[in-house]
Amino acid sequence: MKTNLLRTALGAVLVLAAFAAGAQDIQERTIKFGHLNNTDHPVSLGVKRFAELVSAKSGGKLKVQEFPSNQLGNELQQQSALQGGVQEMSAPATTSLAGIVKEFGLIDFPFAVANFAQADALLDGPFGQALLAKLPEKGLVALGYWDLGFRNVTNSKRPIARPEDLDGLKIRVIPNPVFLETFKAFKANPVPMPFAELYGALEAKAVDGQENPFAVILSNKFFEVNKFVSATNHVYAANIMLVSKKFWDRLSPAEQKIMQDAANEARAYQRQTSRAAAQAAVGELQKRGMQYNEVSAAEQGRMREIARPVTEKFSASYDPAIVKLYNDELAKARK
């Protein structure tokens, strides 16, 4: 009996010691989390959920401070700040990473996935993880993919119901070669510019239109400066949770686990919230005066064929192993 009591007591001591050691591994830290979206956007809601989870899991020691609406700069400025270690986190669209890891451009291939299930399978599986593995050498650590949604065209001139309707339109695109070449294939005039400059450019008629998911269009009030919104669904867009590697490397294993676990839990919530918001946004945009139209499956098929040379061109310039993985995983996702 004495032996059993001693073992029980020793076990309790070891558990308490481990708990105390774990607590000592978690320091008081403030994590600056910047992003481009307004506070009513699903990305912002995801940041808030992540902050709640991190706080709860760390006993309040790790505090996530949100900086929405480009407060810390545009996407490339924030990327540079993370690489330099002066900002801890951001959640840009994956498109902004093509400048440092060009294979991220594969995610932007037009008409690649047809639904959310295919998108999640592609990004959460081996292909998406292979892209994330390329980031640490660039000074970034990724904690996973969030939903931004299918991208759709708005403009001030006319509805887009077929590829010919894009002919001659000045369309703002993300400064990304895949987007530029895709819209050139449709004979549009793509204009690369930072997101922060977009509303002013639309208002001043410097560009005719732009392309973004419905929730982004609504949150940024593009209905005030564009009349037509067309469900082209030409690209599935994802956000990516980024951490400065310089900051990440200063964290203890316990702190890193808290961050990753919170990111995994926040992902499911953010995706659900984002997709519900996109569905609701269509009706709200119409209420705000936008003229909405869908693009038929036949015309989407024509668009896919017009854009095919673009995907073939870029595929030839990427790491062949990553391209093969992309094609294999895409084929699996489509089954």
CATH classification at residue 245 = 3.40.190.170
Q: Residue 180 class from Cβ within 10 Å (0-12 exposed, 13-18 middle, 19+ buried)? A: middle
Domain-located, residue 9:
no
Give pTM, 2 decimals: 0.87
Are the CB atoms for 28 and 54 separated by under 8 Å? no
What was the pLDDT predicted at 196? 87
Domain-located, residue 18:
no
Domain-located, residue 328:
yes
Q: What is the pLDDT tens value at each position of the chain, 335 positions in all?
A: 556 655 655 554 444 444 444 556 999 999 999 999 999 999 999 999 999 999 999 999 999 999 999 999 999 999 999 999 999 999 999 988 999 999 999 999 999 999 999 999 999 999 999 999 999 999 999 999 999 999 999 999 999 999 999 999 999 998 888 999 999 999 999 999 988 899 999 999 999 999 999 999 998 999 999 999 999 999 999 999 999 999 999 999 999 999 999 999 999 999 999 999 999 999 999 999 999 999 999 999 999 999 999 999 999 999 999 999 999 999 999 99
What was the pLDDT predicted at 5? 57
d(CA 314, CA 108): 11
Domain-located, residue 33:
yes
d(CA 6, CA 29): 39
d(CA 208, CA 171): 6
d(CA 3, CA 261): 39
> For the chain, what is the domain count?
1
Domain-located, residue 218:
yes
Domain-located, residue 21:
no
Range(s) of the domain holding residue 216: 27-334
- Cα–Cα distances (Å) from 254 to 51, 70, 257, in that order, read 17, 31, 5
Q: Judging by DSSP bridges, how do beta strands 189-192 and 170-173 pair with one another?
A: parallel
Are the CB atoms for 287 and 223 separated by under 8 Å? no
Domain-located, residue 105:
yes
What was the pLDDT predicted at 176? 83
Domain-located, residue 15:
no
